[in-house]
Structure 1
Amino acid sequence: MKFKQKDKENQRIENISTTHLVVGIDIAKENHVARATNYRGKVLGKPCFFTNDLDGCNKLKAWICALLKGNGFQSVILGMEPTGHYWLNLANWCMEEWQVVLVNPAHVKGAKENRDNSPTKSDVKDALVIADQVRNGFYSELRLREGVYQELHVFMGIYECVNKQFVSIQNRIHRWLDMWFPEYRHVFKKWTCKTSLATLQLFTLPGEVKNMTAEAIYEGWKPLMQRRGSKQFAHELVEQAKRSIGRKEGAMAAKWEIDLLMRQYLHCEKEMADLMEQVTDLLTLIPMARRMLEMKGIGPVMTATLLAETGDLSGYVHGRQILRRAGLHLCEHSSGKHSGQVKLTKRGSAALRKIMYMTVISLVSNNEGFKRLHEDNVENKKMKRNQSIIKLCGKYARILVGMARAGDAAYDPEKVADGSKAA
């Protein structure tokens, strides 16, 4: 299916009729400002200042109803900037009454001098600029996640937060070992193995370990492990402790620090396991998720993150819509004889852009179809490797939309390998 952005732009412009009241709202944490115009941009009424609560929403409704009655309008289109998270509750409430659309903050900033040729900025002026952007068709439809997709989005937000903490704790444990027991990794090549984790909870400082026997360490592991490591590990631990050049001053504080870090590490590990259990249960409720997991190289975390950012894929017409949502569409600056470098716009969801990029890298490494396409791009079409990855992001987006619009059709690796269209 052909998809042209100008067609969508024309549809948005045609959506604004002579019977529409166009409302722009400047969002803040506690107090919002609304301005209204007709389809030609004539300012109507006075600014409406209202609070971010039910009383404020009712005040906005009364103000809009008065303008509808006084000017003979029949419909309302209400635009706002997606400022942080402050706009979400108001948007949810307004959607029950009127059509709600979003305006890019960058557009508002660039158009603030159109009316008065002044760089002045205020909440009242911004609300009017937003209304102007809406009547000119420079807006995007609001696609709020619903049901299982919203649940998935919240869970993956929590997962991302916990994962950052988890990585930070691991880095701090690495640092602790480098400072206090640098020879520890000669015993355990992977400090996250079960025997190593038990050791870090019980026997840590070389000054303590070197005075212990291998048998005592081996018996000490028993309460924390169903199957203990070899006695050879315990013997080697004692020998390395005797040869350690780790720091000795401040040993009591160091002992307290590693105890704290290990408690945090185990707690985060359990939290992440619990979160993934919840996420896996949610993925079973989405038929498209099962199809995505059938693609070799994609795991549940990638699938859940992508669906959390895009929402229901069947609502997209073409894969380019996903690319624009992620900021993976291209732009260039050219004028006269000058041709600028083609770059990514990066105007969109950074989280979606990241997961699309990481998913395609995984597919290129593990999926035969994508691996062939990547090799063809690099060897025959002489693309740089990163250019090929970005191009394959578009391929992957078209595949996803094609599968979703075909009723969650199964992934066909042969079509991908042959380079045929998937959407």
Structure 2
Amino acid sequence: MNCTQNNKLMQITPETMVVGVDIGSEVHFARAFDFRGFEFSKRAFRFENTREGFNAFDIWVTDLMKRNQKTKTFVGMEPTGHYWYGFGSHLQNMGVEFGMVNPYHVKRSKELDDNTPSKHDRKDPKTIAMLVKDGRYLIPYMPEGVYREIRNLMELRRQNVVQLISIQNRVKRWLAIYFPEFSTVFKKWTGKAALLTLKHFPTPQAVIKTGEEKIVATWKEEVKRAVGHKHAQKLIKAAEESIGLKHGLESAVLEIETLLDEYMIHGHRLELIMQKVEAQVKEIPSASMLLGIKGIGIVAVAGFLGAVGDISRFDAPEQIVKLFGLNLRENSSGKHQGKTTITRRGRSDGRYAIFQAVLPLVARNPEFRQLHLYYINRDNKPLKKMQSIVALCGKLIRVFYAILKTGSHYDAEKMMNDIKRPMMKAA
């Protein structure tokens, strides 16, 4: 990956035409410059986010290149949500190099030309092009094949989990209003007997009306584990002493039926998603070896692969650390020494995936657990617990990188080098 400032500048040569594009939901605007910032077009070129619009852009670029004797084009644009995907895919298919500029940089540098904070369709493409000319851009990665499938599936899983959590909270709210004593009978409302109860006789009034014999018979139809009369008696007693609302029960029953239907739909959908995720992960060489690390599951592996994509595009694990926004930044000036924190710039999904993977490792994996204890208890500059977790995130990234890059198995001995090296120095 050409990540350094010099490498980026080297891609913008005297033969390059730099095109800045302001991406919109339906219409895009472009302006063209040379490597010094001299503009080729008198006005911004307007083109729509359609096949015809992209073809018109190609014709416009080709004409400007011929008139100004340029041999290649480099397109810069601002990542405006998802609206750039279609245009980015078109450029990729046409073999045109393009880069993304940081929206924060655009906002900060747009006043350089006219000293005003104004924003409009003619101004923004120039600001974007000038940032590209100075090498202040990133090369976007558009995953293909199995990596695109995994990224899409993990995003779909995230959305589904959010919906499930929302439904669970709404069910808890419903129970707190209409049947607060339900939790004294069932530890979890998601258990089979609890779900059957909510499905067939959700309110205290319905429980009392149904009676002990019918309640037990309903449970035994689908629950293999015996849920007997004592449990039914406890449920009836809780219903008789319930302080839940006794009005509006018809609409309340409809609400809980709707929530349970949505819960079952999203639960089934999550199972299908994870089946597809497992199948896609198996397609990636060495990915199954990551699952050999004690405490690492399919969600952690797929989350990492979906955010990173093809590991071969990285030259070092530190690039992934920076991609996830886990690299450190220092806040200091003069005599003031501020706190050192992570930048949080980059792919938040990757940062979340690796963070969620490290937490169970600290609890279940002996090597990571021992390393965590060493970091927080060492004599020289001990880390706080959260600082140790962040350090272990970087460690796990390096482990994943080595396994995927070389195809080697997880080596617990190498994991302990951070502890062994200080001991050797002391000896």
- TM-score, normalised to structure 2, is 0.93
- Measured in 1, the distance between the counterparts of 2:181 and 2:38 equals 75
Deviation readout 1:151-187 (Å, 9 max, x if unpaired)? 1111111111111111111111111112211221222
The correspondence of residues 243-262 of structure 1 with structure 2, limited to 5 A, is: 243-262=241-260
Letter in 2 for 1:209: V
Please say which of residues 35-44 and 208-217 is displaced more in the overlay: 208-217
Post-superposition Cα deviations, 1:75-128, rounded to whole Å, max 9, x if no partner, equal 111111111000010000011221111111111111112233332221211111
The residue aligned with 1:35 is 31
Q: Tell me by how many angstroms 1:222 deviates.
A: 4.2
Superposed displacement of residue 228, structure 1:
5.0
Report the Cα distance in structure 1 between the residues aligned to 2:311 and 2:249, rounded to whole angstroms: 56
In the aligned structure 2, how far is the partner of 1:366 from the partner of 1:44?
61
Q: Which position in structure 2 is the counterpart of 1:411?
A: 410
Alignment RMSD (CA, Å) = 1.9
SS of the residue aligned with 2:4?
helix
Give the Cα–Cα distance (whole angstroms) in 2 for the partners of residues 416 and 262 of structure 1: 46
Residues 178 and 245 in structure 2, CA contact (< 8 A), matched pair in contact too: yes
Q: For the Cα contact (< 8 Å) 1:198–1:225, is it kept in 2?
A: no
Spell out, residue by residue over 1:374-420, the C-alpha distance to the aligned partner (whole angstroms, 9 max, x if none). Answer: 111101142111111112221122222222221x2211122112328
Amino acid corresponding to residue 171 of structure 2 in structure 1: I
Which amino acid is the alignment partner of residue 340 of structure 1?
G
In 2, distance between residues paired with 1:320 and 1:131?
Answer: 29
Residue among 261, 271, 275 paired with 1:273: 271
Pick from 40, 51, 54 the counterpart of residue 54 of structure 1: 51
Correspondence for 1:87: 84
Partner of 1:398: 398
2:22 matched residue in structure 1: 26
Three-state SS of the structure 1 residue aligned to 2:128 is: helix
* Cα drift, residue 130 of structure 1: 0.9
* 1:326–1:350 Cα contact (<8 Å) kept: yes
Q: In structure 2, the residue corresponding to 1:333 is in which secondary structure?
A: strand
Compute the displacement of 1:295 (Å): 1.3
Residue in 2 aligned with 1:44? Answer: 40
Structure 1 position 73 matched with structure 2 position 108:
no
Moved more, 340-349 or 368-377: 340-349
- Find the aligned partners of 2:331 and 2:233 in 1 and give their Cα distance: 66
What CA distance in whole angstroms lies between the structure 1 residues aligned with 2:223 and 2:208?
22
| Structure 1: distance between partners of 2:393 and 2:218 | 52
Question: CA–CA distance in 2 between the matches of 1:360 and 1:369?
Answer: 12
Query: 2:20·2:129 contact (CA, 8 Å) conserved in 1?
Result: yes
Q: In structure 2, give the amino acid aligned to 1:72.
A: Q
Structure 1 position 283, deviation (Å):
1.4
Residue type at the aligned position of 1:16? I
- Contact preservation (8 Å) 1:316, 1:401: no
- Please give the alpha-carbon distance, in whole angstroms, between the structure 2 residues aligned to 1:204 and 1:372: 48
Specify every segment of 5 or more residues in structure 1 that has no aligned partner in the other structure, as ranges: none
Q: Distance in 2 between matches of 1:404 and 1:395?
A: 14
Matched ranges for 1:19-418 at <5 A: 19-46=15-42, 47-97=44-94, 98-225=96-223, 229-380=227-378, 381-406=381-406, 408-418=407-417
SS at match of 1:142: coil
Matching residue's letter, 2:312: S
Deviations 1:331-381 (A, max 9, x none): 223333333322222221222222222212222122111111111110114
Q: Tell me if the contact between 2:371 and 2:419 (Cα under 8 Å) persists in the aligned partners.
A: no
Instruction: State how far apart, in whole Å, the 2-side matches of 1:204 and 1:390 are.
Output: 45
324-333 or 65-74, larger mean C-alpha shift: 324-333
Report sequence identity in percent: 37
**How far apart, in 1, do the equivalents of 2:356 and 2:59 lie?**
48
Asked whether the 8 Å contact 2:285–2:404 carries over to 1, the reply is no
Letter in 1 for 2:162: K
3-state SS of 1:160 partner: helix
- Cα distance in 2 for partners of 1:65, 1:240 equals 78
Give SS of 2:19's match.
strand
Per the alignment, in what secondary structure is the counterpart of residue 78 of structure 1? strand
Give the Cα separation in 2 of the matches to 1:310 and 1:395. Answer: 16
Range with bigger deviation, 108-117 or 148-157? 108-117
How far is the alpha carbon of 1:223 from its aligned partner?
A: 4.2
Tell me, in whole angstroms, the C-alpha distance in 1 between the residues paired with 2:121 and 2:332. 34
TM superposition shift of 1:48: 1.1
The separation in 1 between residues aligned to 2:336 and 2:111, in whole angstroms, is 28
Secondary structure of residue in 2 paired with 1:45: coil
The equivalent position to 2:13 in structure 1, one of 6, 12, 17, is 17
CA contact (8 A) 1:112 1:119 kept: yes
Separation in structure 1 between the aligned mates of residue 388 and residue 240 of structure 2, nearest angstrom: 53
CA-CA distance at 1:227 after TM superposition:
5.2
Q: Is the contact between residue 212 and residue 238 of structure 1 (CA under 8 Å) also seen in structure 2? A: no
- CA distance in structure 2 between the partners assigned to 1:321 and 1:187 by the alignment: 52
Contact kept in structure 2, 1:218 and 1:228, CA below 8 Å: no
